[in-house]
Amino acid sequence: MPQVILLDDIKAVGSLTENNKKMAVVLLNYSPGGTGQYLYIAVVDKESSHLKNIATQFVGDRFRVKDLKIMNKKIILDVIQPGKNDSACCPGDVVQHVWYLDSNNQLIEEPNTRKIVRLTPDILSNTEWRLESWRYGDPVSAENDIRLRYINGHFTGSVACNNYTVTVKSEPRPGFINVLKQHTSVTEKQCNNPLAAEQQQRYLEQLGGVNQFTYFAGKLALSYQVNGQLGVMIFSKEPSSYNQ
């Protein structure tokens, strides 16, 4: 059945007009029932304590959202979208779209003069991520703090009370990587948490099986295969991260 879903993990709030009234920009995903996944942005205003959708704009099919923000009264949406020779399943162009709201409440997209780059691990630099779920429907417990960064060809971070580093190689296809789990180093502290060893083992096994990465609603998704089982680890961006 056709359905529209609000991507409630990501939104932007700020001024889009000269009166500096704050509005919200949200993302909607329309699934008509086939393979298409149509992304829309919607501007929401507050009138007499009621929310009103005042503008909606189609963005694209099967775009992956990297970031959404409002700056200088403009909506800035960073996405991963299919390039000229990309299959629909695996978009590889990192593109920034910019809109402004005109006096008639119409969203006008500015011409894209920015350089389009391809999806490689370098796009992950300058950002710290925190593991949110081991796979879809399997959240990480609140007391666990598992971090990940990408620095110069390596995933680095912390798990339990230890620090780790593992080598990462980029593959020719955008978003595909080879994690060299045999090139992993981990500190050997004794953690107070009795489940720390089990959690550390699970995380490093899944990280070692990662073969692809992308974004979803501003979050990092690492696809892995361990013992024939497929899964996707979801990471949320830490607020202190530098904006890419």
Mean of the pLDDT values across residues 125-134?
95
Nearest to 207 by CA among 192, 220, 219, 222: 222
**Amino acid symbol at 141:** S
pLDDT band at 115 (very low <50, low <70, confident <90, very high): confident
Cβ–Cβ < 8 Å for 172, 151: no
Give the three-state DSSP class for 21.
Answer: coil
Nearest to 21 by CA among 50, 56, 46, 52: 46
pLDDT of residue 36: 80
Structure tokens at 122: 């370098």
Give the three-state DSSP class for 183.
Answer: strand
Domain ranges of the chain: 3-118, 121-237
219-242 pLDDT per residue, tens: 999 999 999 999 999 999 988 654
DSSP strands (E only) in 48-115: 50-61, 64-71, 74-81, 93-101, 107-109
| CA Rg value for the chain | 20
Nearest to 133 by CA among 2, 222, 240: 222
pLDDT band at 112 (very low <50, low <70, confident <90, very high): confident
What is the pTM assigned to this prediction? Answer: 0.89
Q: Which of 95-99, 110-114, 177-181 has the lowest mean pLDDT?
A: 110-114
Mean of the pLDDT values across residues 160-185?
95
pLDDT of residue 89: 80
209 or 243, greater pLDDT? 209
pLDDT of residue 125: 92
pLDDT of residue 240: 63
Is it the case that residue 244 has pLDDT exceeding 60? no
Nearest to 238 by CA among 148, 161, 159: 148
Beta bridge partners of 54: none
Structure tokens at 150: 């990408």
Q: Check: CATH 1.10.10.10 for 121-237?
A: no
pLDDT band at 117 (very low <50, low <70, confident <90, very high): very high
Cβ–Cβ < 8 Å for 163, 155: no
DSSP strands (E only) in 62-205: 64-71, 74-81, 93-101, 107-109, 117-118, 129-135, 138-139, 147-151, 154-159, 162-170, 177-186
Mean pLDDT score across all residues of the chain: 93
| Percent of the chain predicted with pLDDT > 90 | 80
Pairing state between β 147-151 and 129-135: antiparallel
